[in-house]
Structure 1
Amino acid sequence: MKFALDSDSDSGSISSSETDSPSVKSTSSKHDSTSQIPNPMSELGRRIREATLEPESDDDHPRVVRRDSYDSENEAADLLDVASEVSSVSESDEEPVKQVIPPVIRNVPAEQGVSHHASSGASKQTMTMSTSRSLHDLVTRKAGVATLRDESTQPSPPELFARRIELEALTNGQMLINKRMALIRRAVSEEPTVSPDSAWLAKQEMKREQDEIARLMQAMTVEKKERAGALKNKISGLWSSIDVAVSARTKQATEAQHRAEAAKKLEEEKKQAEAQRAAQVVKKAEDERRAAKEAAERRAREEADLKREAEDKAAEEQRQAEIRKKEQESAITTTAASSTQTPERAALVTAVTQENQRTRTMVHQRRGSADFYRWRLEQDYIKKNIHQPVKTNPALKGSLFKIAAKMRRFVGQVTNKKSVIVRVTGDIHKILCEQLGRETSAANPAIYKTDLPVAYLYMTSRLAKCLIEQAEAEVSVKADAAFPVAWVVLGLLVRGHASFGPILFSRLAKKCPWVVPHLPRPDSSDPAAIRKAAGFDVNETTSSFVERMTGICTFYFAILQTSLTPLISTLPIPPTPQQLLDLVIPEFRLPRAWTWLRSILQPRTIQHHPVSSLIAAWLRVCGAEVMRTYGPAQTGKLLNLVGDKASLLGAESTASRERVHMLLDECARKGSVEGHPRKMWE
């Protein structure tokens, strides 16, 4: 609240201006300077309010009330006199002051409060404070007091004492009131009068200051944000520098570690390479030594076989010569004694002739039987030394089964195209070399019954089984499927897998004895044993048996007639003729086709069911290649022999026998055997 005292009257009037703020400050400018304005919450303001305001009380005590104005200055003076008389009744020095002070307070309200500038042109409102009773009541009471004084002109001693005390109290109270009124006038007189211009100027100054303060605050806010951003950027840059430095250090350390590891690895690889080279040199020397030893042993065996064959051949020729000599002697004797021949002599000649024929037949049968039982021993060796160790090792068996399934898929992908055949052969060759532990070639082959890993031999046996099963399933239905599989077999042989040949032929002899050819004799006369010895499966019909045997033999004939020349062109280094003899066993060479047909025509085998179908398959698959190799003259002799015995072929196979007659008639008419159209790859 803002106060100002008017000095026009003796009683003094105080003007006040209420503001919204409890604290009051004076504003000054270059046009109008003001002093500090009393604060209503200060001690002076509090006493002014206590002197001018009095709460309601009993009727015996006056009440201070607010009035807008007094009628005159005399009325205000009368009010002061009445207040002086009333104050004499009070027991304290402070209460009379509160009851008798009738200052005139002018309230000058400000639009924005003391902290803001007063609005220009605003008129001051004057508010005077008075007691709660009207001025007339107080004057009437004063007249009543004067009347009482006149009536008691002669007071008693106690009354005099009381009057004296009252007078002293009144005097002291009046002095105190005057003193306080003087202080109030002095305080109010020091307050400058605020004119409308000065208020407007103060308001403008205040507004300017507020604007300046707002600008300063805005500038400070902007500066704060800029500093915060700069600090943030600086910190971010610092951390980025730290990260870059750390990354650089880490990268340097990592590169150094990698260089060290690379150097260490290079050194280790160098040592390993040196060790491998040394091991390879030792291994190569060992392989060469072993190969030389094996070659020497093989040559010795071949020489022994050749020598034995030569001896057998010489013995056979000697026996044949003796037989011919006996026949000639018998013929001469028969001719000389024809006129005098007796029935006993004729029976003797017939018996000698039949014995000679049985001798020749036994020679051929003994040779076929020897071949069959030799491969029967090979089957026992494979079962004992290859299959049995794998079966007793479940882990090895499981891993090899997965690889065998992979090879089976490769075999199923074979077609008669050169690219497919070469690719499949290479894939199987890679798998076998992985199991062998080294790369094979014609110069470094894997010879059978040498120090070879069991896993490698087992995989070759599984491959042979897979090929035979495909021949049973597909070749028996369509003969064209035999030729691409035959290319794969010979492709593996010329790539150094020499052990694959004996294993494959031993399995062929086991599944189909007719590839030898030989019909083994069972140990008993049981029909089931006889059927099993002939190659029948359990509960297999004769037609199914003939079809299956024909498919396997067709696969075998396709191998016999396949030329190695196209395969050699697919190898990086062509093998020598001697290496080819070491890689391909005699059972897979073309001369075997001639001996097979000659052996199948023996009396013991010619009358069985599959013989006519097998001879027809031989003519379709091998006939053209045999005639091209041995010439029409020699091949014609062999075919004439087949024709002579065609009536004996498979007594129960009429259709197959007729097919053989048709093929022989066609060969005789054309003078050659027509080759199979799909025997060469595309």
Structure 2
Amino acid sequence: MTPGRELTPAVDSDMHEIANMLSHFQMQHKETEQKERAAFERRNADLWEGIEKAVRDAETRAEHEAEQLAAARKRQEQAKADAKKARELEMARIAEEKKAAEERKAAEAAAQRARAEQDKAEEVFNTMRGGEHVWPQAAREYAHWQERMRYVKQDILPQVKANADWRKQCFAAKRAITPKIGQLTNERQQIQRVTTEVAAILTQARSVPDKHASTVLYYWMLNHLAKSLIRQAEQEVAARQETAFPLARTALGLMLLGHDTLGEVLMARLVKKCPFVLAYVPERKAGVDEAAYRKTLGLKVDGEETVHMYATRMTGIAALYFACLQSSLVSVAETISVGANLPALAKHLCAPFRPDRLWTWSVRCTTPPITQQPLLPALWSTFLEVAGPAYLQRFGTQARKLLAMLFHAGIQQQKLAPVTEKEEVSQRNAIKAASVRLRLILESWEQRGNLDEYASGGLCMDS
């Protein structure tokens, strides 16, 4: 349009139409913009709502997990507390049981010490004074050794008898052992040789892989060895007292070489053959006939043995036992070359073969009623001849007091085996002869202060 020129109606109409269109477009645009803004705001609101919901859900889960974790932690802590309490209760129970065991052990030890002190006091007090005798302990020991002998006779021997192979092995050992014991003299080299050879036989039996067979064979051979030693004492020692010493040294040497079970078997057989080694006279129980009781006293069942023969045999067996008690373990250990190990080996020595049994025997044999036993003067003489020097050396003043009492009360006042008219003439004569012998020994001791004049030969080994 040219300036100054007026618009025509057609042009005005177009312009108006264009203006309407623009207005319409603007309104549409504004409406669209409003819709889009509203949609955006809704989406934005939904988005934030989703975010907030996710946050709330996450917080809820976190709270739930925290609660679960706290509960789990609480359960764990409770479990730990329960376990700790259980451990404490268990430890308290164990401690209580240990304390109770220690208290029982202490009480038992105290009771044992009290019994030992009582036994000792009883032994010291009741020597030829008319008080209660000291036989309860001796009776218990006698019953114990009887039981050990029954085990050998009723368990070991029948098994060997029933098994041909075992019987063959045992008889081979018997043929090897018997002559060796019979050849013993008091020479150091021979004692060493015999001890070593017999120990090898016993060790071979003990080394059998079958444990049961080993036990049976070993006990059978120990039993035969014990029988051989005692038989030698009955036959040879009775005639020549000094022959007891090599037998004793061999037996002790075998014990020190690890065959300490020999002590149990040998003591069981000694008590069976001569209960006087315990300074004990078995009581005759109801229902036991004369023959059975005589056997418990070591008497021959056939009755052909004289009083003198019986006394000689009993003192021979007793001499073997006394020789064991008085033998120096140091000397025995040096003979078999185990001197360095002696302290450890001596701990395993069977109790009845320890030197303190010299005192036990002497006290029991100055206590009624065994002091009435006709055989006692002969046994006392054998004791002093075989073990007297060692007895005096070991027990000193106590031994001298006891021997003084034995001499004055036992011999001079005739409280030891008093002779009565009830005994047979042979019995009375045997008691008188043995009492004279004992009197001479004690008179010599009282005058000289030692027993050297009557001590047995063989106390020292020949080189």
TM-score normalised by the chain length of structure 1 = 0.46
The offset of 1:357, in angstroms, is 4.9
C-alpha change, 1:436 and 1:525, in structure 2 (3 Å) is closer
What does residue 88 of structure 2 align with? none
Give yes or no for the alignment of 1:673 onto 2:445: no
Q: Helix, strand or coil: the match of 1:603?
A: coil
Partner residue in 2 for 1:535: 298
- Partner residue in 2 for 1:649: 416
Q: Are the counterparts in 1 of residues 333 and 342 from structure 2 also a CA contact under 8 Å?
A: no
Asked if 2 retains the 8 angstrom alpha-carbon contact of 1:494 and 1:575, the reply is no
Q: How does 1:130-529 map to 2 (within 5 A)?
A: 307-313=110-116, 357-358=130-131, 360-361=132-133, 364-437=134-207, 453-523=215-285, 524=287, 526-529=289-292
> Structure 2: where are the runs of 5+ without partners?
1-104, 420-427
Q: Give the number of aligned pairs.
A: 334
Query: 1:603 offset after TM fit, Å?
Result: 1.8
Corresponding residue of 2:20: none
Q: Is the 8 A contact 1:546 1:609 kept in 2?
A: no
CA distance in 2, matches of 1:619, 1:608: 18
Following superposition, the deviation at residue 381 of structure 1 comes to 1.7
In structure 2, how many angstroms separate the alpha carbons of the residues matched to 1:303 and 1:640? 39
Match of 2:319 among 551, 554, 560: 554
Deviations 1:102-126 (A, max 9, x none): xxxxxxxxxxxxxxxxxxxxxxxxx
Q: Aligned pair 1:659/2:437, yes or no?
A: yes
1:609 corresponding residue in structure 2? 374
Which sits farther off after the overlay, 553-562 or 606-615? 606-615
- Show structure 1 runs of 5+ residues with no match: 1-301, 325-355, 439-448
Question: Equivalent of 1:618, from 383, 388, 410?
Answer: 383
Q: Structure 1 residues 461 and 396, CA, compared in 2 at 3 Å: closer, same or farther?
A: same
Partner SS state of residue 477, structure 1? coil
Amino acid at match of 1:530: Y
SS of corresponding position for 2:456? coil
In the alignment, the residues of structure 2 paired with residue 304 and residue 558 of structure 1 have an alpha-carbon distance, to the nearest angstrom, of: 38
> 2: CA distance between counterparts of 1:317 and 1:475?
32
Is 1:640 aligned to 2:404, yes or no?
A: yes
Cα deviation for residue 634 of structure 1 reads 2.1
C-alpha distance after superposition, 1:597-641 (max 9, x if no partner) = 11122222122221111000001011101111222x222101012
Query: Retained in 1: the 8 A contact 2:205–2:214?
Result: no
Deviations 1:563-598 (A, max 9, x none): 01122223257225243111x112111110111011
Q: Which residue of 1 aligns with 2:52?
A: none
Q: Does 1:575 align with 2:345?
A: no
Structure 2 counterpart SS, 1:416? coil
TM-score for both structures, normalised by structure 2: 0.67
Contact 2:275–2:281 (Cα < 8 Å) also in 1: yes
Q: In the TM superposition, what whole-angstrom CA distance separates every residue of 1:322-342 from its partner, at most 9, and x where no partner exists?
A: x99xxxxxxxxxxxxxxxxxx
Aligned-partner Cα distance in 1 for 2:355–2:120: 25
Supply the distance in 2 between the matched residues of 1:487 and 1:318 (Cα, whole angstroms).
Answer: 32
Whole-Å Cα distance in 2 between the matches of residues 304 and 587 of structure 1? Answer: 26
What SS is found at the alignment partner of 2:282?
Answer: coil
Q: CA deviation at 1:401?
A: 1.2
- Whichever structure has more helix as a proportion of its residues is 2
Structure possessing the higher relative contact order (Cα contacts under 8 Å, 6 or more residues apart): 2
Identity rate of aligned residues, in percent?
A: 29
Q: Is the 8 A contact 1:559 1:588 kept in 2?
A: yes
Q: Which structure would you say has the larger Rg?
A: 1
CA distance, structure 1, for counterparts of residue 106 and residue 460 of structure 2 = 35
